[in-house]
């Protein structure tokens, strides 16, 4: 295959879709799956629930990725498997075996899990297996909450993809509380906002000192305190279904306060938070400090050429705009979706740098990426580094969470570190546990 990989110029990106999610990928295509698409899978996200265990019910091939990732990333002891064979698929016998498997897990695991997740695959979705009824049965038998999540790539193109529904599942463990505390929950991301972010100081100065995140909860009891919060801040779009469910079930309103790297976008986010929380926020000093530091970084770095990927802890379009505003030359964006939040940034890019090429990671022509000759000084995101071989890669992974003006400085520090102490992209990906 020597043809040019499928891509669009920014000016060719359409905005005719009526829903919040617009695909860069053309319809009716097979999907290419590069190793850079790994990381925070359904199993790992589900096991964010503290003191929980998971039973993964699947054919052997489906479970392999989760098992090896569990070993690499340290959650294998909380993960068990019930394998399906052809006879199970035909007869549904595996559904009768699940209660015995759960009982065995709870009887042999020390300490005994206080919550249970059962993960089904596309096979059970196609069979119409009644996992919800089974969960209610298991809760009555075992005396612990049981929830169902789905690893179903067949739903990736729908309105409820598995990356969204798994977050809805983990927050469904929270139960309504009559007690309310002046606290905010951070939803949608997988790690607490970095401790060095000015976000905490800005909110504390306005009287909001309690900020909660699932990954910071030591146990299920502490996790339940999130149901007492007065506000939810959705900072990554994948938590959209979760915050809607929490508003309906727990009475916690939410607002979208996305991770961003452009100074004006961050300022607008703080204004949104100010209105939503009903307090006066004063982040201006932190913006001035960030601007001064950015000027120093700009002088040191110069006008680098950059590729921006979808695996970075950012919206690729917002990040591409921010880097352009900071004086970098963005050549490529790798993105599979355009969300509502992206539209204003796509329009800005169309006006200012319409020649940027937009590739989708999953188009089958990307399998021939080495012959595409994509070059850049710097790649932000594992996927951008994978497709632009030779670029120095800044992973900007989901394992930590930059936010606010300090998040911009974190990005610049990572860029400078990548240039001064470059690492093999292959070694970076293997060290991250991304390659299975």
CB of 144 closer than 8 Å to CB of 111: no
Average pLDDT over the chain reads 90
Rounded mean pLDDT, 336-350: 91
| Same topology between domain 50-167 and domain 181-277 | yes
Model pLDDT for residues 242-296, shown as the tens digit of each residue? 999 999 999 999 999 999 999 999 999 999 999 999 999 999 999 999 999 999 9
In CATH, the number for domain 50-167 is 3.40.50.1980
- Least trusted range by pLDDT, from 101-105, 122-126, 183-187, 424-428: 424-428
What's the pTM value of the predicted model, to 2 decimals? 0.92
Distance CA 170, CA 48 (A): 8
For the chain, what are the domain ranges?
A: 50-167, 181-277, 297-431
- Cβ proximity of 261 and 314 under 8 Å: yes
- Bridge-based pairing of strands 115-121 and 229-234 is unpaired
CATH architecture, domain 297-431: 3-Layer(aba) Sandwich (3.40)
| CATH fit for domain 181-277, picks 3.40.50.10470, 3.40.50.620, 3.40.50.1980, 3.30.160.60 | 3.40.50.1980
Q: What is the pLDDT of residues 177-215, one digit of tens each?
A: 999 999 999 999 999 999 999 999 999 999 999 999 999
For 193-214, letters b (16+ CB in 10 Å) and e give bbeebbbbbbbeebebeebbbb
Q: Sheet containing 305-308: give its strands across.
A: 7-9, 357-359, 329-334, 305-308, 378-380, 392-394
């Amino acid at each position: 295959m020597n043809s040019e990989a499928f891509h669009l110029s920014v000016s060719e990106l359409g905005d005719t879709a009526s829903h919040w999610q617009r695909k860069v990928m053309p319809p009716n295509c097979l999907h290419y799956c590069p190793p850079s698409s790994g990381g925070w899978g359904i199993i790992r996200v589900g096991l964010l629930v503290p003191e929980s265990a998971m039973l993964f019910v699947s054919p052997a091939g489906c479970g392999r990725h989760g098992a090896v990732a569990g070993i690499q990333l340290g959650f294998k002891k909380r993960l068990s498997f019930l394998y399906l064979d052809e006879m199970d698929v035909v007869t549904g016998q595996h559904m009768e075996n699940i209660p015995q498997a759960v009982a065995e897990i709870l009887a042999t695991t020390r300490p005994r899990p206080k919550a249970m997740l059962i993960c089904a695959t596309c096979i059970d979705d196609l069979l119409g297996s009644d996992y919800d009824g089974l969960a209610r049965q298991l809760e009555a038998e075992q005396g612990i909450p049981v929830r169902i999540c789905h690893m179903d790539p067949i739903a990736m193109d729908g309105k409820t993809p598995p990356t969204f529904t798994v977050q809805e599942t983990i927050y469904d463990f929270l139960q309504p509380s009559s007690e309310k505390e002046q606290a905010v929950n951070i939803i949608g991301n997988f790690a607490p906002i970095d401790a060095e972010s000015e976000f905490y100081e800005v909110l504390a100065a306005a009287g909001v000192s309690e900020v909660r995140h699932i990954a910071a909860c030591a146990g299920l009891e502490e996790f339940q305190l999130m149901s007492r919060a007065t506000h939810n801040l959705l900072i990554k779009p994948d938590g959209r279904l979760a915050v809607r469910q929490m508003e309906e079930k727990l009475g916690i309103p939410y607002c979208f306060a996305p991770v961003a790297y452009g100074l004006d976008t961050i300022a607008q986010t703080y204004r949104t938070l100010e209105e939503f929380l009903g307090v006066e926020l004063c982040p201006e000093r932190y913006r001035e400090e960030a601007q001064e530091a950015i000027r120093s970084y700009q002088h040191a770095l110069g006008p680098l050429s950059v590729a921006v990927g979808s695996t970075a802890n950012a919206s690729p379009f917002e990040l591409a705009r921010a880097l352009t505003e900071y004086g970098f030359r963005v050549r490529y964006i790798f993105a599979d979706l355009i969300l509502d939040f992206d539209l204003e940034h796509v329009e800005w890019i169309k006006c200012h740098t319409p020649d940027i090429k937009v590739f989708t990671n999953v188009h089958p022509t990307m399998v021939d990426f080495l012959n595409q000759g994509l070059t850049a000084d710097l790649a932000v995101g594992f996927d951008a580094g994978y497709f632009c071989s030779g670029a120095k890669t800044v992973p900007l992974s989901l394992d930590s969470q930059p936010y606010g003006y300090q998040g911009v400085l974190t990005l610049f520090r990572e860029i400078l570190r990548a240039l001064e102490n470059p690492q093999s992209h292959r070694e970076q990906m293997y060290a991250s546990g991304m390659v299975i």
